[in-house]
Amino acid sequence: MDSDFERLIHEADTVSVDGWDFSWLDGRATEQRPSWGYQKLQARRLATARAGLDIQTGGGEVLAEAEVFPPTMAATESWPPNLDKATRLLHPRGVVVISDPDEPPLPFGDAAFDLVTSRHPATIWWTEIARVLQPGGTYFAQHVGPASAFELVEYFLGPQPEARAERDPAIEAAAARAAGLEIVQSRPERLRMEFKDIGAVVYFLRKVIWMVPGFTVDGYRERLYDLHRRIIDDGPFVAYSARTLVEARKPV
């Protein structure tokens, strides 16, 4: 295998993937952004909330962009490297960052928050979200939609028909209603992604660990090399991410 391939995958396999900052991919990969601008919308809502909770906050990078937090502000995270990063970033601003295993129950009392937010939660426990929301409170989030980046996933894993059906906005909305929430909006978009070199692919799969579970460079070396040659010959590898803007309300 050629030296350029080895250099690219070694670099991407050894760089830190802690937190939820993708700036390492600048110039190496692109992803079209949703039209709504989630972070700005989240910040506006936080500025008027009394008690807020950000679920699965990652390294806290998105939440930290808000200029104003509610008087009470908490965030949860399960992955230790992200938990450490979020703590360092958010504690100085008065946000309580709590280690949570990402399974019920949320470590808060009933009706504790008037705003619950989340950007790209790996799992969505609607009953728990409804429980910790105050009557009249809002859940506001950007979810990963169905078959997001599955062009890349299925390149490594082959066809995934059952997984393609997951995260359907209509199914999520039905689950939210079953938990006692009202859907205010559910807005899906599909967005173009381009991976310009094989290092970008390796970094992405190391960071977004649920895309190809158990991914390692050694385990997929031959497949990675084939994709490397494909990018060299044909240009960037194109995939399409899926995002859904979700707003749900707990009835008064």
pLDDT value of position 1: 57
pLDDT value of position 18: 84
pLDDT value of position 185: 98
Q: How far apart are CA 121 and CA 70, in angstroms?
A: 21
pLDDT value of position 161: 94
pLDDT value of position 19: 78
pLDDT digits (tens, 9 = 90+) for 166-182: 999 999 999 999 999 99
CB 228, CB 5: distance < 8 Å: yes
Q: What percent of the chain has pLDDT over 90?
A: 94
Q: Name residue 77's beta-bridge partners.
A: 99
Which pLDDT band, with edges at 50, 70 and 90, does 9 fall under? very high
Q: What is the mean pLDDT of the chain?
A: 96
Of 80-84, 171-175, 213-217, 232-236, least confident by mean pLDDT is 80-84
Grouping H, G, I as helix, E, B as strand and the rest as coil, residue 121 is: coil
pLDDT value of position 220: 98
Distances (CA, A) of 15 to 83, 204, 224, 236, 251: 19, 11, 18, 22, 46
Q: What residue spans define the domains of the chain?
A: 3-249
Q: How far apart are CA 88 and CA 82, in angstroms?
A: 10
> What is the pLDDT averaged over residues 154-165?
95
CB 109, CB 28: distance < 8 Å: no
In sequence order, the 6+-apart residues with CB closer than 8 A to the CB of 111 are: 131, 132, 133, 134, 135, 137
In sequence order, the 6+-apart residues with CB closer than 8 A to the CB of 10 are: none
User: Looking at the predicted structure, is the pLDDT value of residue 195 above 80?
Assistant: yes
Q: How far apart are CA 111 and CA 95, in angstroms?
A: 19
Apex 250 CA angle, 94 and 91, nearest 5: 10
User: Looking at the predicted structure, is the pLDDT value of residue 20 above 90?
Assistant: no
Q: How far apart are CA 174 and CA 169, in angstroms?
A: 9
pLDDT digits (tens, 9 = 90+) for 72-124: 999 999 989 899 999 999 999 999 999 999 999 999 999 999 999 999 999 99
pLDDT value of position 184: 98
Query: Under CATH, what is the fold of the domain 3-249?
Result: Rossmann fold (3.40.50)
